[in-house]
Amino acid sequence: MATPRRGLRDIRTATGKVGKVILPHEVYLRISQIEMEKARKTLEKEKAKQLIANIEERIAEIEAEKDALLQSVGEKGGSAARTVSRPPKSADVFTVKY
């Protein structure tokens, strides 16, 4: 009986068994990458806060304009402004002649 042939997959290596050597310059490089990401995220956060403040300000302006318009309608006569005018009946009918 012949012994099975061994190939490249049968070679044993020390991969994963040896602890990775930590090089100081790699650690400092990773720290600088993290700091740059932190700076970008901080700037992004500040811009988002400014955007939210702008939106809140616009909502307040809209509410103030709405209140002013409602008051102006109320001064002129609220009952007349609330009636809905309808177009004439002939405008509701659409016929196509062939």
Sorted by sequence, the CB contacts under 8 Å of residue 81 that are 6+ apart come out as: 73
Domain residue spans of the chain:
42-75
Q: What is the pLDDT of residues 28-87, one digit of tens each?
A: 999 999 999 999 999 999 999 999 999 999 999 999 999 999 999 988 765 544 555 665
* DSSP single-letter state for residue 16: T
Q: Tell me, what's the pLDDT at 93?
A: 65
Res. 18: pLDDT tops 70: no
In this prediction the pTM is 0.49
Q: Give the whole-angstrom CA distance, residue 30 versus residue 22.
A: 12
Cα end-to-end span (Å), the chain: 95
